[in-house]
Structure formats: structure tokens, C-alpha cells
Amino acid sequence: MVSRTVQCRCSMSAASAPTAGVQSQRRGRKHSPHQSCYPLCLPLKVEPSPLSCSLALHVVQNIAMTDSSSEEETICVAMVLQEDQPKRIWVHDINKKRNEFGEFHTIFHDLTEDDKKFFIYFCMSYAKFCELLLAIEPRIEKKNTNFREAITPRERLAVTLRFLGQGDTFRVIALTYRMGETTVRRIVYETCEVIWEVLSPIVMPPPTKEIWGHISSRIWDKWQYPNALGAMDGKNVVFEKPGGSGSTFFNYKKEFSIVLLALVDADYKFIVVDVGAHGRTSDGAVFFRSRLGKMLTEGTLDIPVPKSLPNEPEIVLPHVIVADEAFPLQENIMRPYPGPQVVNNEPNKIYNYRHSRFRRVSENAFGILSKKFRIYQ
């Protein structure tokens, strides 16, 4: 606690006191020392905010109620407020010990010697970790400065995988890795963007007619569904809604979410994805607003021409996307028969069985994704 004394004109020298009295008499009243300026003559005990701010506000109010205020008094109050402002810390003392006690520096080396433990922690093997790091390292590497040492690309990737794989919050990761919360958030955003830019042309290239043909043949071999381009479905990814968004992201499950729409092949691999639609939007509406839906409607998706069925050469049918009841029935979109058309109709029952048998591949893919990366749960 620091003691400050704010002086007013009552404590000025004797030479200046008559002048003050004359000035106050000109206003139509006598100047009485320790009367209107009495609160300003007491020593101010500067406390940490907000107490000192309240005290200074009380002083300002007393100055405003009197006609004896001056620039000196205002400056004194401003100095009290300025001196008591909390100081910003460049690096917290806890974070200064990151290289000695941070989670990455204490456990990463030991995890590399145990493949099972490494996979549990990062949701991938150490070999895949090194392969991914080699691909994105030039894009996420930062330079050291005279003020601090940059976080290495290896540690940046570890932070990102920890967030995606375990679903920990930025605050928890910041505490365990001994980083700033804003730093962790920036690392995750930047690294995820680089991963998408580098890997999407490799693992999810734009489908061509040859790729569609290979996917269709694989679906027939594994699931016995002819002329299929993939199984499509949507998943609501729960998140904390943005401020001021109202009920835009409020879905039928009474949660706030965004929609992950995906087209999946026979081996539970994603072919095309669309991310970011509002949670209240139906899967069918999300599809037709997506780039995939627009290209399918405009005929620019480069899908193969209609093809005869494997066991019925005389029957020629177009290639289709297998979906559920949330999507409309179109030339290139197949949905199951509704309930009334299945009753006492054995062929329709058999088709619905084959349809659902392959369509659930998309739901299984979402389940695998959520199990592997808990951020999607």
C-alpha cells in the first residue's frame, strides 16, 4: 500500500493564498480553507484496482462539486489512476519454464520409444507423425527473435494433434504445455490450415471420371451396390455458438452445431466434404447449397455416363449417390423407399436392405472420425 497526498490550493504557499481568496470572492463567496477542498487535503491510500479507482472517482466528484478545482488537482488524480493500472506481463513466470517442465519437453521423447503410448497420445504412429511433420514443416516454422525463442514445428504439431485428438480446451493445453492461451489458439488455427492446404490435394483430390469409375467398382465388389458414387450423410458437430448468432446454429437435437456433410467411398474414406453450414439447416438443403450439389445439378461433376447393371446387361442406369430420407430422389441421388411402399412388397424390402447396407458406411465413417479425433464428439 502506497500513501499519496493530493495537494490543493489550501496547502499552497502563503503568497498564493490571498490570490485564491480573491478569486473565490469574485465568484460571490468566501474561500474557506479545509472546507470545499477538505477531501483533497487527506492522504490518499492507493489500493489495487478497483478500490483506488473508486477512491479517485470520489475525489473527482468532490472537485466537480466545488469551484476551486484546478489543473493541478486534475493532474494529481490522473497520476493516481495511471500509477495503479495493472502491468502487462510479456511472458508469465510459469511459461518461462516451458523448456524444462512443459508437457512436450517432458514426455515427447519418452513417447517416441513406445509406439502404443505414442498412438494413444497423438492418435497416430510416430512414423506418420514424422511424415506429416516433414510435409508441413516449411510452412509452420517460425524464426527466433532477440526477445524470445520460437516454438519449434514439432511442438506446434504436437499441440495441434493434442487439441484434435483429445479434445482438450485451449486453456488446458496452455497450462500443460506452458504457453499462452492465445498462442495455443493461433498455433492450432495456423497448423490446421496448413495441413488442409498441403494434404487435401493428396488425400482428397477433385474426383475425375477415372476416380469415380474406380470408386464405383470398389463399391460393387465390397457392398454389391451397382453404379454407386458413394454414400452421403451429414453430421452435426457441436460447438460453442458465436456471440450474437441467436438460434442460427440451433439444431433439432437442442444443441448448437455446424454441419459436416461428407461423401464416403466403400472403404470409409472421405471423397468430398462440406463444412460450416448452420446447424438448423437440413442435410438436403446443405447439399444443394454446397459446391458438390451445385456441380451435380449443373452437370459439371464429371461423373461417368450411364452404365448397364453387372448381372443385367440390357438395363442401363445412371451413376447415383446413395443417401437417406433427408435427400430428395433425383436422377443421380437414390434414397430408400418410404414405409408405405415397403409393406407387402418384397422387392422393395430387398432394395431397402441393400440400400441401407451400403449407406451406413457414411455413418460408420463419422463414428470412426469421432472416435479418433474427439474434437468431433
Last-in-domain residue among 176, 203, 230: 203
What is the band of 87 on the pLDDT scale with cuts at 50, 70, 90? low
Domain region containing 285: 209-376
**All cell numbers assigned to 101:** 517442465
Is the Cα torsion angle 367, 368, 370, 374 positive or negative in sign?
positive
88, part of any domain:
no
Domain co-membership, 213 together with 300? yes
157 pLDDT more than 60: yes
| Residue 181, helix vs strand vs coil | helix
Q: What domain count does the chain have?
A: 3
Q: Same domain for 42 and 145?
A: no
Residues 119 and 141 both lie in one domain: yes
Question: Does position 63 have pLDDT exceeding 60, yes or no?
Answer: no
Nearest to 324 by CA among 338, 312, 311: 338
Please report how many Cα atoms fall inside a 13 Å half-sphere around the Cα of residue 198, on the Cβ side: 16
Last residue of a domain, one of 151, 173, 203: 203
26 located within any domain? yes
Q: What is the DSSP-derived secondary structure letter of residue 250?
A: B
Shared domain for 282 and 189, answered yes or no, is no
* Per-residue pLDDT reduced to its tens digit, 307-353: 999 888 889 999 999 999 999 999 999 999 998 898 989 999 999 99
Residue 162: inside a domain: yes
Asked, for residue 90, whether it belongs to a domain, the answer is no
Judge if 137 and 257 occupy the same domain: no
The answer to whether position 89 is within a domain reads no
3-class secondary structure, 91: coil
Q: Where are the alpha helices (DSSP H) in 102-178?
A: 103-111, 115-122, 126-140, 153-166, 170-176
- Could you tell me if residue 344 is inside a domain? yes
Taking residues 113-124, what's their average pLDDT? 92
193 with 269, same domain: the answer is no
Q: Which residue has the cell 473508486?
A: 54
Q: 13 in a domain, yes or no?
A: yes
pTM: 0.71
Give the count of beta carbons closer than 10 Å to the beta carbon of residue 256.
20
